[in-house]
Amino acid sequence: MTRSYDSLILHVMSGTGNSLRAARWLADLFGPGGATIVRIAKSYDAPPAPDRNSMTGFVFPTHGFTAPWAVIRHAMRIPRGTGSDAFVVATRAGTWLGFLLPGLSASAMFVTAFLLMLKGYRIKGLRGLDMPSNWTALHWGMSPKNAQRIIDRARIDIERLAALIFSGKTHFVSINNFVELVGGIALANISAGYLLIGRFALAKLFYANWKCTSCGLCARECPFGAIRMMGTDPKLPYWTFACESCMHCMGYCPEKAVEASHPLAIAMFYVGTFSLAAALGAWIIRLQPGLSGIGAGPGGAFVRSAVNYAYVLVSFFLVYVLFYYLVRIPLVNRLFTYLTLTHYYRRYREPGIGGKDFTEGG
């Protein structure tokens, strides 16, 4: 393969191994000794600053039809590009139904590319890449046979992309990218809602069922340091708001003890949709009818939104703390687990990718 660059720096976020696999393909296609993989994680070790003879790549999963917050934060922290070239690959949830049903990364690669441009990079390529859908908090893990079908197709797509951008050409105009752009615009509200609220709610759905041995593997391997081992006799994992729902803990727990509680999701929905601002306003008006006009106008709308936003986050936290201590009771744990669909789901991890592949940096 013709190569117009001396080195390649790949910034990679991966939970089950899909994006890590794609990054390794790119590194192999670039050539021996030329590529460095930098993990997007809680700890931040500044990568070498790029120069005109190097290329920078971002490879990461799509969350909420956009880039995960960890990727956005990382893109804002890396060294300035000083005119060097860059590209973005957003892996998305492909599904096999006798044929490939493509996923949608929507705004994921455009948001990341825009941030890189602000940092002085020249974007040479964008690609939404179908990899096996791995959101096992929502659905059954894909069978190895069907997952491999999608992986084989993804390899072909990566080879086509690499042949263009590594030789100095560009990859922008395609039906794939046009669909992603339209989807990103249409789903912008959902993506914003995910970044502001949804990711925190999803973070608080995880817990350990009675099979947990308190080994602490999930806490040690969490890329974002979002899991703490808490309590005594036994210590159990506790998921914080730093969780990015990357599915690593669920996919790699040796006991298959990590669950995402669907009954808890229903409870959080009902608690979170309560409007504290409206309730406070009604209470004030009952006490002082003459204050019925209070909170009107743009300023009042902002205050109401701020009150409700704070309430939602606090309510998620309090509900989860209560839930965490309840499921420490064996009978309650079993009850919630039997009512949780993830207990019956097949887990998913990228074939051929193990836990050490993440801890050793890719």
If 0-12 CB within 10 Å is exposed, 13-18 middle and 19+ buried, where does residue 32 land?
exposed
Q: How confident is the model over 179-212, as pLDDT tens digits?
A: 999 999 999 999 999 999 999 999 999 999 999 9
State residue 83's pLDDT score: 87
Ordered by where they begin, the domains of the chain are 7-190 (3.40.50.360), 199-344 (3.30.70.20)
In terms of C-beta density within 10 A (0-12 exposed, 13-18 middle, 19 or more buried), how is residue 147 classed? buried
DSSP line for 266-282: HHHHHHHTS-HHHHHHH
Residue ranges of alpha helices (H) inside the chain are: 18-30, 69-77, 108-118, 144-165, 175-186, 188-193, 199-203, 217-221, 248-252, 262-272, 276-287, 297-326, 330-338, 355-359
pLDDT of residue 301: 74
pLDDT digit string (tens) for 123-177? 999 999 999 999 999 999 999 999 999 999 999 999 999 999 999 999 998 999 9
Cα(33)–Cα(28) distance, integer angstroms: 9
pLDDT digits 0-9 by tens, 217-246: 999 999 999 999 998 888 999 999 999 999
Which residues are CB-neighbours of 271 under 8 A, at least 6 positions away? 315, 316, 319
Burial tier of 87 (Cβ tally within 10 Å: 0-12, 13-18, 19+):
buried
The CA distance from 42 to 210, in Å, is 29
Token pair belonging to 210: 């009675």
